[in-house]
């Protein structure tokens, strides 16, 4: 699957609307910043790498469609659009990193006195396309490394969705599963439903069954049960932000899974591109945790509201898994072990 791409004329962003899966496969065309912001905020596109790719490609397309203007007007408009998109998902560091790369390219070109808006437009688009190509390459490298950590025939437990839908190609946490399948080394997957937005139930089971992977769905509160029965050989999750000390921000509930895995001596591996490492965050305490609409918990998937009227709701989108609970963090640069030094890997 290719959940984020450009159309053939490179003037529109095409995304698979993940908010409608697994019921409907609908591709959306995006050609302005408000549609892009809505797509990211409402999780029509989600997964840290995919968000970064969508933001980069989307902004490049939007700037290309603006028509004639001066370089100063172009820069001012870029900053406005970029600020709007960055505000949609503050925890997803790939989004910020992707836009920052575009900004670096833009500033470098503006040092030239003879630069044209046409060159600015094409340069941003080429850089955005490069971000996607690099993500696809890194996913394959990550999958190769993860595959060295799990035995053929193993059963892994995963949380949220870190497969094809969350990236450009293959996946981070699930990339090794697809790679193993292609080599005849079948790996079974237990997928947690992932409340409150059900990314595991809706998205992970959708893409794994589509890929012919032996998949079992469980409720989030069944993790301890399946681990206590020896049904899990390893936990593999993705990540939205990695702090410099190895603390990881991922979908809310990941830390619960990791704590349980530690109790039952099940290794927890985190897979993600190095672009997910946020140099601004020394520890997980520095990560901004997004708070989402209470209706996602009380109403979204139900025909009737399931909570008492007027009850307070806490709905953080992510939590922090402490570095000492994580057995390894795998990026395209290699396998890193606790205590984490991202300059030294296996």
Catalytic residue among 17, 220, 240, 286: 240
Question: Within 10 A of 335 (CB to CB), how many other CB atoms are there?
Answer: 18
Give 333: exposed, middle or buried? Use CB within 10 Å, 0-12, 13-18, 19+.
middle
Catalytic status, residue 214 = no
| Tokens found for residue 119 | 């060159």
CA atoms within 13 A on the CB side of 226: 23
CA dist list (Å): 198 to 22, 49, 74, 240: 11, 19, 40, 17
Nearest to 16 by CA among 302, 210, 228: 210
| Tokens found for residue 21 | 């899966």
- Helices and strands in the chain: count of H runs, count of E runs: 11, 13
**256: preceding bond cis by omega (within 30 degrees):** no
- Contact (Cβ atoms closer than 8 angstroms) between residue 43 and residue 33: no
DSSP string, 215-227: EEEE-GGGHHHHH
Distance CA 270, CA 74 (A): 39
Exposure string (b/e) for 272-302, b if CB count within 10 Å is 16 or more?
Answer: bbbbbbbeebeebebbeebebebebbbeeee
Distance CA 124, CA 169 (A): 22
Strand partners, 188: 155
CA dist list (Å): 253 to 95, 250, 320: 22, 8, 9
Q: Which residues are the active-site residues? A: 240
């Amino acid at each position: 699957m290719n959940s984020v791409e450009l159309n053939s004329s490179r003037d529109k962003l095409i995304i698979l609307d993940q908010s409608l899966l697994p019921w409907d496969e609908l591709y959306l065309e995006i050609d302005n910043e408000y549609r892009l912001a809505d797509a990211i905020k409402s999780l029509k596109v989600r997964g840290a790498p995919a968000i970064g790719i969508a933001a980069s490609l989307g902004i490049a397309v939007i700037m290309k469609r603006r028509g004639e203007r001066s370089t100063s007007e172009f820069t001012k408009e870029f900053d406005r659009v970029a600020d709007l998109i960055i505000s949609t998902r503050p925890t997803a560091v790939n989004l910020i990193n992707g836009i920052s790369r575009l900004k670096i390219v833009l500033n470098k070109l503006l040092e030239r006195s003879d630069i044209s808006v046409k060159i600015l437009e094409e340069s941003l688009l080429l850089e955005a396309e490069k971000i996607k190509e690099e993500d696809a390459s890194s996913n394959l490298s990550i999958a190769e490394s993860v595959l060295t950590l799990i035995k053929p025939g193993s059963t892994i437990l995963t949380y949220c969705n870190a497969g094809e839908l969350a990236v450009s190609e293959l996946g981070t946490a699930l990339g090794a599963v697809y790679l193993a399948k292609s080599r005849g080394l079948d790996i079974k997957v237990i997928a947690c439903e992932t409340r409150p937005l059900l990314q595991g139930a809706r998205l992970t089971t959708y893409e794994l069954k589509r890929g012919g992977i032996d998949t079992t769905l469980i409720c989030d509160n069944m993790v301890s049960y399946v681990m206590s029965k020896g049904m899990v050989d390893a936990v593999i999750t993705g990540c939205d932000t990695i702090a410099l000390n190895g603390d990881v921000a991922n979908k809310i509930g990941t830390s619960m899974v990791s704590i349980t895995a530690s109790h039952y001596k099940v290794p927890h591996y985190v897979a993600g591109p190095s672009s997910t490492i946020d140099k601004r965050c020394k520890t997980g305490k520095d990560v901004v945790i997004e708070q989402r609409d209470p209706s996602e918990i009380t109403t979204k998937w139900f025909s009737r509201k399931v909570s008492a009227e007027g009850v307070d709701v806490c709905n953080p989108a992510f939590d922090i898994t402490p570095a000492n609970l994580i057995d390894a963090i795998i990026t395209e640069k290699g396998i890193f072990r606790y205590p984490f030094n991202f300059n030294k890997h296996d």
